[in-house]
Amino acid sequence: LPTPSVDTGMGFERLVRVLQGKQSNYDTDVFSGTIATTGKLVGKPYKAGDDKESIAFRVIADHIRAISFTIADGQLPSNTGAGYVIRRILRRAVRYYYSYLDYKQPLLHQLVPVLAKQFENVFPELQQQLDFVSKVVKEEEEGFLRTIDSGIKRFIVYTTSSGDGASGSFAMEHITNKEEDIKLTSSYIDLISKYASFRKNNIISGEFAFELNDTYGFPIDLTNLMAKEISWSVDMEGFQNALQQQKDRSRAATTLDTEDWVVLQDGESSFVGYEQLTTATILLKYRKVTAKNKQQYQLVLKETPFYAESGGQCGDTGVLVFGTESIAVTDTRKENNLTIHFTDSLPTVMNSAVIAQVDTAKRKAICLHHSATHLMHAALRKVLGTHVAQKGSLVNTEYLRFDFSHFAKMTDAEILEVEQLVNEKIRENIPVVIKQLPKEEAIAMGAMALFGEKYADVVRVVVMDPAYSIELCGGTHVSYTGELGLFKLQHETAVAAGVRRVEAVCGLAAEQYINEQLVQLQQVKELFKNPKELLKAVENLSLENSELKKKAEQLENRLLVGIRNELLQKDEIINGITFIADIVEVSSADALKKLCLDLKNNLNDYVAVLAANIGGKPYVAVGIAETVAAVKGLDAGKIIKEHIAPLIKGGGGGQKTLATAGGQEAGQLKAVLEAVKKLL
């Protein structure tokens, strides 16, 4: 270039386009493989035009790259930060294939292998994590596909109906005829009238756009895109107002009312708690705070050994000794790089010397669990794969909680292997080495850094065997891994798409947990009269219980047949409808439903209302013949909600031909029967 450092905007794709003589980036072999595979999957050819279908092909080919590479780099879709950007990109792609390629099942995850193969020599990380990335993408697609249908249908109703009823009915018909298995659940008339003033000017109400976002997962840029396609616009000011109102409501629930700082002495505050747990210091400033009608105080010390809640590690507790007066510290947090100590009271004399004492037993328990988290993180990566990355953590005195990227439930064998590996490292009594290093040097030596986290130029590195665990961490730790004593993994669950959660204990907490389990096991043995083979005894009891349930069900069915026959003798004809109403003796609400279904097989044009007092609580079932529901306009679900639930002080619902309810007022069952009779 004539002038160095001038960006021509050429880029890789445009350079390839020139070299291959193509009119579009998407005609080059950078994208053609993905586009061809998409065509095969959806059963449509790519026309390379400006129509919506062709645009959908290009959107998918572009978006799947951004999604796949970023997930392989360690960032998962979420509702915040970089993860939210990924989610928005993915949902935009889903909307294009759903609406314009008429493909109603997950598609993007099927393209990940194509992409991984294409870039295996350029970006091998994607090929190495193929299963993980594919499963994360698929779970995200499935989650959005469950809500996109309802959202799009509401959008269609909003933008195609005039509000006079006729065109609204046409829109509803158009939608439900296209896919009869899915219908709008809310009233289109309410929807139209609610936002009528905006609709007259072809504007999507900000409140409605927020509803699509909040309830149906539509990012605002997706609603903007859909509006633009039909020459509408979105009331962005209204959307921002609705969003702000929700934030204000959330904030109000956790509002902390703070008074001004009372400054006693100027000076900088410093943390000395890595080396000391008791420190002589002075009080710099304090203020009163109120949260949920509870009054507390926040104190700032010149030097403090108290660790403030950070990086998943909970804050220290302890005492501040002012002369002969002790003030309990209930929590320690950070605010604007200040370590703030929470107390329920203030000392009588504030400008005296202060002895700050951390609760050493609690700090020790926290250190054990934090060091165990590092050992477990490394074990998870060795057992499950290097795609495992921390997505959140909590470390306190009682247990550790760790969220990490993984696509499947851990097997019992994997859990056992992780436990064994961590306990092996504990028995090796590895020295825990902590260094201050330049960030680049720390990363070069293999230290794990959290994706999206900001680190200073000089970082704190915690090493537990250079060949096993090296992490950037500001938390407090033990000196040797042997101090952990014993590690036990308690629970493993899912918390989000592609994110698992484990909870574990070590040290005294692990010992207590195991002892509790052994006590429970002994109690179970005693209940079974201490059999030689406990498992066999449990299996026999389970089998026996299953047989008894079958017999009980057979007896109940015989009983219900008898009740059914008695009910058929109690029918009366009201306006040409066979009406049966009675309070029956049954053992469960499900039995009432069975009776209604049985009556259906023995009657034609009928309405049946059956009630029962089960354990002091009222239960009701209403059955209506389809012919009666259609001709007379009766709806069992509406009858339950409007006429029965209020009487018995309960709730319920169901379909037009069968609905049930439960409540609190068992003395109103006769009134229930009369109420239904009056409707006929």
- State pLDDT tens for residues 517-540: 999 999 999 999 999 899 999 999
Position 554 pLDDT exceeds 90: no
Tokens of 647: 């009487």
- Least confident segment among 249-253, 368-372, 647-651: 249-253
Q: Average pLDDT for residues 186-195, to the nearest whole number?
A: 56
How many angstroms separate the CA atoms of 392 and 80, rounded? 13
pLDDT at 194: 66
For the chain, percent of residues with pLDDT exceeding 90: 50
Mean pLDDT along residues 266-280: 93
pLDDT value for 520: 94
- H helix or E strand, kind and range, residue 111: none
Which pLDDT belongs to residue 570? 84
Q: What tokens appear for 555 in the block? A: 């007896």
The pLDDT tens digits of the residues spanning 303-315 come to 999 999 998 999 9
pLDDT at position 74, please?
Answer: 78
**Three-class HEC string of 302-338:** CEECCCCCECCECCCCEEEEECCEEEEEEEEEEECCE
Q: Mention every residue, 6+ apart, whose C-beta is less than 8 A from residue 412.
A: none
Lowest mean pLDDT segment, chosen from 45-59, 224-238, 250-264, 630-644:
250-264
The pTM of the whole model exceeds 0.75: no
Closest CA to 64 of 9, 132, 14, 113: 113
Reported confidence tier of residue 169, pLDDT bands at 50, 70, 90:
very low
pLDDT > 70? residue 452 = no
The reported pLDDT for the residue numbered 40 is 95
Q: How confident is the model at residue 190 (pLDDT cuts 50, 70, 90)?
A: low
Q: Which of 8-12, 233-237, 487-491, 571-575 has the highest mean pLDDT?
A: 487-491
What residues have CB less than 8 Å from 476, skipping those under 6 apart? Answer: 273, 274, 307, 313, 363, 366, 367, 370
pLDDT tens figures, 337-378: 899 999 999 999 888 899 999 999 999 999 999 999 999 999
The SS3 assignment for 650 reads coil
pLDDT tens, 562-610? 888 888 888 889 888 899 999 988 888 888 888 888 888 888 889 999 9
Given this model, what pLDDT does residue 6 score? 67
Phi, psi angle pair for 551, to nearest 5°: -65, -40
- Higher per-residue confidence, 131 vs 191: 131
Measure the N-to-C terminal CA separation of the chain; round to a whole number of Å.
89
- Contact by Cβ (8 Å): 403, 499: yes
What is the pLDDT of the chain when averaged over all its residues? 87
Residue 1: its pLDDT value, please? Answer: 60
Please determine, for residue 296, whether its predicted confidence score (pLDDT) is greater than 50.
Answer: yes
pLDDT(268) > 70: yes
Share of the chain above pLDDT 70, in %: 92
pLDDT band at 407 (very low <50, low <70, confident <90, very high): confident
Q: Is the pLDDT of residue 175 over 80?
A: no
Provide the β-strand partners of residue 394: 401
Predicted confidence band of residue 164 (pLDDT cuts 50, 70, 90): very low
| Higher per-residue pLDDT: 8 or 53 | 53
**Beta bridge mates, 393:** 402
Task: Compute φ and ψ for 304, nearest 5 degrees.
Answer: -140, 135
- Kindly state the average pLDDT of the residues 166-171: 39
Size (the chain), residues: 680
Between CA 318 and CA 332 the distance in angstroms is 10
**Lowest-pLDDT choice from 199-203, 249-253, 421-425:** 249-253
DSSP codes joined into one string, 478-503: -SBGGGG--EEEEEEEEEETTEEEEE
Number of neighbours of residue 413 by Cβ within 10 angstroms: 9
pLDDT at 451: 57
Band (pLDDT 50/70/90 cuts) for residue 254 is: low
